[in-house]
């Protein structure tokens, strides 16, 4: 079990000091936990012995083992397809059937990785038409971001998919207003320029970051107000984005159904404004 999951699981039984520590660790995960114990103690005003007792509660023998686990999680998040294939679980007979069985397992695991409360919060803020929504993904995951933006703009206005060229991003970044949404999709190996984009949007524009990522958490998570972490590890050379796409479609469908009166009117107006097919 990941450190983040252990912290969240232990949270109901923590002391006030441990809850303060818990908040600090999760708000800057995993980087806060990589600081020397003295630095973390000074920053959180929680004593070093209390931090040691806390990591023991999480099941670690000491702060060193706790940090080694965090470092291992970061390494997992940077694994290339070459490394994944070398330690994967090859599929042999009945390839299609067995692959689909693994994908089905990942889909089932998604509902355990994301709570209903998280899902509801994300849908609610995305339905708020007072907020503009800016959408982008990584080299491969941008296909999911594009799918999301094209559907969402059928339900509501002010949805912008950022172009691939980072030189054009400032045009969109300077439009962002406080409380606007930057919706990012970032899976391992994470896209460094998305981190820069998230930092600027959060620090300089007071935008709210919604992140779809994997269990190892993109560095963008440092600035994210909402994190939807979907399982992607399927044991083959490529990670599977199937659960992430299903999650995205669940969000889109919920929004369309909750706002059906407006969504229907917008789709009808959209279709009326479309260019007719050539020859018709």
Over the stretch 31-48, which tens digit does the pLDDT of each residue have?
788 889 998 888 888 899
Domain spans, the chain: 3-76, 95-273
Class of domain 95-273: alpha beta
Measured in whole angstroms, how far is the alpha carbon of residue 31 from the centre of its chain? 17
Q: Write down the pLDDT at residue 85.
A: 46
Q: Write down the pLDDT at residue 277.
A: 66
- Which residues of the chain carry a pLDDT beneath 50? 82-85, 280
Q: Write down the pLDDT at residue 115.
A: 84
Question: Are the beta carbons of 229 and 128 closer than 8 angstroms?
Answer: no
Q: Write down the pLDDT at residue 22.
A: 83
Do the domains at 3-76 and 95-273 have one common CATH topology?
Answer: no
Edge-to-edge strand list for the sheet holding 133-137:
159-161, 133-137, 181-185, 208-213, 224-229
Segment 172-181, tens digit of pLDDT: 999 999 999 9
As a whole number of angstroms, the distance between CA 34 and CA 45 comes to: 17
Name all contacts of 169-172 with Cβ < 8 Å and 24+ positions apart.
169/197, 172/134
Question: Are the beta carbons of 119 and 112 closer than 8 angstroms?
Answer: no
DSSP letter at 210?
A: E
DSSP letter at 80?
A: -
Q: Write down the pLDDT at residue 83.
A: 47
As a whole number of angstroms, the distance between CA 269 and CA 77 comes to: 43
pTM: 0.73
The CATH number of 3-76 is 1.10.10.10
Task: Rounding to the nearest 10 degrees, give the CA dihedral for residues 261, 179, 244, 6.
Answer: -130
As a whole number of angstroms, the distance between CA 246 and CA 110 comes to: 9
CA-angle at 209, arms to 33 and 19, nearest 5°: 35
Burial class (CB in 10 A: 0-12, 13-18, 19+), 135: buried
């Amino acid at each position: 079990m990941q450190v983040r999951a252990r912290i969240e699981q232990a949270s109901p039984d923590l002391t006030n000091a441990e809850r303060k520590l818990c908040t600090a660790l999760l708000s800057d995960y995993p980087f806060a936990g990589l600081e020397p114990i003295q630095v973390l103690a000074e920053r959180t005003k929680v004593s070093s012995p209390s931090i040691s007792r806390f990591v023991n509660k999480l099941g670690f023998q000491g702060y060193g083992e706790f940090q080694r686990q965090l470092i291992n999680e970061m390494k997992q998040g940077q694994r290339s397809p070459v490394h994944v294939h070398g330690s994967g679980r090859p599929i042999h007979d009945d390839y299609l059937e067995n692959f689909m069985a693994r994908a089905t397992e990942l889909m089932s695991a998604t509902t355990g990785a994301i709570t209903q409360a998280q899902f509801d919060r994300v849908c609610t803020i995305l339905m708020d038409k007072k907020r503009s929504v800016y959408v982008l993904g990584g080299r491969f995951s941008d296909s999911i971001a594009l799918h999301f933006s094209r559907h969402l703009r059928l339900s509501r206005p002010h949805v912008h998919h950022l172009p691939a060229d980072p030189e054009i991003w400032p045009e969109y970044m300077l439009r962002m207003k406080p409380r606007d949404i930057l919706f990012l999709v970032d899976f391992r190996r994470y896209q460094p320029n998305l981190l820069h984009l998230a930092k600027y949007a959060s620090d300089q524009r007071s935008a709210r970051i919604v992140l779809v990522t994997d269990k190892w958490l993109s560095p963008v998570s440092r600035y994210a107000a909402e994190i939807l972490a979907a399982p992607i590890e399927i044991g083959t050379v490529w990670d599977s984005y199937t659960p992430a796409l299903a999650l995205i479609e669940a969000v889109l469908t919920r929004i369309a159904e909750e706002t059906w009166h407006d969504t229907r009117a917008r789709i009808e107006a959209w279709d009326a404004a479309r260019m007719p097919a050539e020859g018709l």
